[in-house]
């Protein structure tokens, strides 16, 4: 073998099924985009088999329900989702043999629907005007009418629990003996920040936790409490919500899972981010670092850059990248990315005589 040739040695184990490959995602150093004197790592959740952090939640919701007997063999699972949880649940249900019905507002990207359907799920669309609350209520309605198992991603204890048991432990192991000054995360359900914070507050109390949400939909930042039903589910749409381009983040209510982080002061600072800035940073990660993430990942990274710009020399920042960019093809993330050749590509083609397009 040539000197310097990359080699691999295998994982040292064989896997019984795809679900056993969930987790142990890498923390990757940012090189071109990090400011001088500060180190930024990203935790790349696209390395999960379903392409997002929600694989963790999906498998634990189903397995926790299997353990406590609330999910019966062959029972249909139903859940409201903007996409990633639905994709994760579709993968889990396909492997375990449960039918899955997903309710989703029709404002979310078409490729999300196709991915879930490819994995065998049924996707029921709800009107975008009724927002996340509408798709949530549709899932509740279907569960009650048909005796289906409602996954309850926004309320279930299984959500933050899996991040406490896996995501947080991976971070502790990867940064053992190393500085970790900041942890940056957005929220969809709030499971990631709540589960990770439970551990970091105890075992790495020096790590400041930064939470972010869309600048034009600052639900937590508004200071207005979420009206809830007796089971903790949202009773109404939150008054501070406005439509935003950061798919997967910040539904039009404050999830009960996130409420724990608010009540227990699990984050040190709340910083808003504009969707346009998230899109810009997602493109920069792809084109300058070779790291392909979605708008939510770009938005989290934008806040990590803000934190880095003011951090003390030598600081180390870890930023969550929730998913891959491939489920954003029909969103503003890919505006300006052409199907056909642009002028520079045509010029390259014409620079030699053969095999030119007509």
Nearest to 292 by CA among 25, 26, 24, 44: 44
C-alpha distances (whole Å) from 139 to each of 161, 172, 233 are 23, 36, 12
Q: Compute the distance between CA of residue 297 and CA of residue 320 in angstroms, rounded to an integer.
A: 7
- Contacts by 172-177, CB closer than 8 A, 24 or more apart: 172/199, 172/203, 172/204, 174/27, 175/27, 175/204, 175/316, 175/318
Point out the catalytic residue in the list 43, 54, 131, 138: 54
Q: What are phi and psi of 249, to 5 degrees?
A: -100, 150
296 classed as catalytic: yes
Point out the catalytic residue in the list 109, 296, 299, 315: 296
CA angle 317, 247, 59 (to 5 degrees): 75
Q: Compute the distance between CA of residue 304 and CA of residue 123 in angstroms, rounded to an integer.
A: 35
User: Are 237 and 179 contacting, i.e. CB atoms less than 8 angstroms apart?
Assistant: no
Q: Compute the distance between CA of residue 236 and CA of residue 291 in angstroms, rounded to an integer.
A: 38
Count the neighbouring beta carbons within 10 Å of the beta carbon of residue 226: 22
54 classed as catalytic: yes
Catalytic residues: 54, 296
């Amino acid at each position: 073998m040539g000197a310097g040739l990359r080699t691999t040695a295998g994982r040292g184990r064989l896997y019984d099924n795809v679900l056993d490959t969930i987790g142990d995602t890498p923390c990757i150093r940012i090189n071109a985009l990090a400011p001088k004197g500060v180190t930024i790592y990203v935790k790349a959740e696209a390395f999960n088999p379903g392409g997002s952090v929600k694989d963790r939640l999906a498998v634990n919701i189903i397995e926790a329900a299997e353990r406590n007997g609330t999910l019966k063999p062959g029972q249909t699972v139903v859940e409201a989702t903007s996409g990633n949880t639905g994709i994760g649940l579709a993968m889990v249900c396909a492997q375990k043999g449960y039918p899955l019905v997903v309710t989703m507002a029709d404002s979310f990207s078409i490729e999300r629907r196709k991915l879930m359907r490819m994995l065998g799920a049924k996707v029921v669309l709800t009107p975008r005007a009724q927002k996340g609350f509408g798709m949530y209520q549709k899932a509740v309605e279907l569960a009650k009418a048909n005796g289906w198992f409602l996954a309850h991603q926004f309320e279930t204890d299984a959500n933050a629990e899996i991040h406490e048991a896996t995501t947080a432990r991976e971070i502790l192991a990867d940064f053992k003996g190393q500085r970790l000054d900041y942890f940056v995360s957005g929220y969809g359900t709030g499971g990631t920040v709540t589960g990770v914070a439970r551990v970091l507050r105890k075992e790495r109390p020096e790590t400041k936790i930064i939470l972010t949400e869309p600048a034009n939909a600052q639900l937590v930042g508004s200071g207005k409490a979420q009206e809830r039903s007796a089971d903790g589910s949202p009773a109404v749409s939150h008054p501070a919500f406005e439509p935003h381009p950061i798919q997967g983040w910040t539904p039009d209510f404050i999830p009960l899972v996130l409420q724990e982080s608010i009540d227990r002061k699990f984050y040190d600072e709340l910083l808003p981010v504009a969707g346009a800035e998230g899109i810009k940073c997602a493109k920069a990660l792809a084109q300058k670092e070779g790291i392909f993430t979605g708008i939510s990942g770009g938005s989290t990274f934008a806040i990590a850059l803000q934190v880095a710009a003011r951090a003390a020399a030598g600081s180390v920042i870890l930023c969550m990248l929730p998913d891959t960019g491939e489920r954003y093809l029909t969103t503003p993330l890919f505006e300006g990315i052409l199907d056909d050749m642009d002028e520079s590509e045509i010029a390259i083609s014409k620079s030699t005589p053969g095999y030119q397009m007509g």
